[in-house]
Amino acid sequence: MSPRTATQQAMGRLHEPITAEGRVLHDLLSPHLPGIREAAADHDRRGAFPADVFEGLRKDGVLGATVPKELGGLGVTSLHDVTFALLTLARADASTALALHMQLSRALTLTYDWRHGSAAARPLAERLLRAMGAGEAVISTGVKDIVRGGVVTTLTPDGRGGWVLSGGKTLVSLAPVATHFMIFARYAGEDGRARLATPVVARDEPGLTVLDNWDGLGMRASGSVDVVFDRCRVPAEDVFLRGHLDDQPPAALAGQTVSSINMLGIYTGIAQAARDIAVTTLARRPAPPAGGPATLVAEIDARLYAVRSTVAAALADIEAAGQDVGGDMDERGHRMMAPFQWAKLMVNHLAPAIVADCLTLVGGASYSAAHPLARLHRDVRAGAFMHPYTYGDAVDYLSRRALESRGA
């Protein structure tokens, strides 16, 4: 049996970047980590978005990391390296990592539109990517409609060849500093059926309002506010038109995977940070830990190894499937989404359990809002709500796929 290459070893561990571009991203991000870590508690307590941090990341080119080199970015294409960067950042502050994820993942999906999209999509994708690479565009994405009032975010023709956007989105992370918003909306097609579209709206567009209303249980510094659209004008060339709302092809699962898989690094990073705090606390105590705490440390390390290994394996499978753009695109979508959801289920089971056991190890001192473990305990819970599937939707999708495959 041939020995594993250095790249294969790094992929299996999820402990370091595996590409030259990923190492550049890591090197640019690293000097910011001490300041981010130091300010995290204050930002969490006040629910304040770290705008100064993102200005520093913009100046250093981090916000253009996943933009292709030929369009002015760093050219990071490896999902492993993006996930590792978010894992590293989440060890300092998960809220900042969640907000950065919005920018990095959006450039990845825009790059696919630029390389493989329709004739109408490619110019818009290129324009946005060039602005992101130049540090001029910070793009936040709005997916979930504001529940209050039952309003659906809708595009309607303006009668002059363009569109009008009305509605609102909630949990729009990164919104406090976003220059543009990519919004999931619906519109009526020529056949009368509801279709999906993604209009891109500039922050200064009349009718767009970014609210200051985020008061979450966790991820309190992520700026996950509501954004409201009151008849915002959107030129036709600023809209990605998608398929029917009730008949999305499985091929679309690929884009959903790429836009969300990297978030698993955030929750892995939270678990790692909690483990490090707990073990450091035990090591500083005058007496070695008794059998119970010592056993719990070993259990925590075993579960953390399982989380890292599961995420690393899923990333490797997804990247391999993602490179196949010449075959069955529907099957490609399933080959990417299934490992993502398997890994997400495991992370959502194990990461909160790791953090909870770390609180047990540290004891009563951690049962204080000022203790870093309290923040990690709240932040890690956000993983269960992240796109594209919550627990119920994920198990429905995975079980259906398993039964269909068995039947075949």
The tens place of each residue's pLDDT in the chain, 408 residues long, gives: 445 455 555 555 799 999 999 999 999 999 999 999 999 999 999 999 999 999 999 999 999 999 999 999 999 999 999 999 999 999 999 999 999 999 999 999 999 999 999 999 999 999 999 999 999 999 999 999 997 767 799 999 999 999 999 999 999 999 999 999 999 999 998 888 899 999 999 999 999 999 999 999 999 999 999 999 999 999 999 999 988 887 789 999 999 999 999 999 999 999 999 999 999 999 988 877 788 888 999 999 999 999 999 999 999 999 999 998 888 999 999 999 999 999 999 999 999 999 999 999 999 999 999 999 999 999 999 999 888 999 999 999 999 999 987 654
Strands 139-142 and 180-183 turn out to be parallel
Distance between CA atoms of residues 378 and 298, nearest Å? 23
pTM, two decimal places: 0.94
- Contact in structure between 205 and 174 (CB atoms under 8 Å): no
Distance between CA atoms of residues 223 and 52, nearest Å? 13
Among 29, 53, 35, residue whose Cα is nearest residue 221? 53
Tokens of 75: 């050219």
Tokens of 379: 């932040």
Tokens of 386: 């992240």
Q: Which residue has the tokens 């253009």?
A: 64
- Contact in structure between 181 and 167 (CB atoms under 8 Å): no
26 burial (CB, 10 Å; 0-12 / 13-18 / 19+) is middle
pLDDT in tens, 268-279: 999 999 999 999
Distance between CA atoms of residues 366 and 356, nearest Å? 10
pLDDT in tens, 300-323: 999 999 999 999 999 999 999 999
Strands 163-172 and 144-145 turn out to be antiparallel
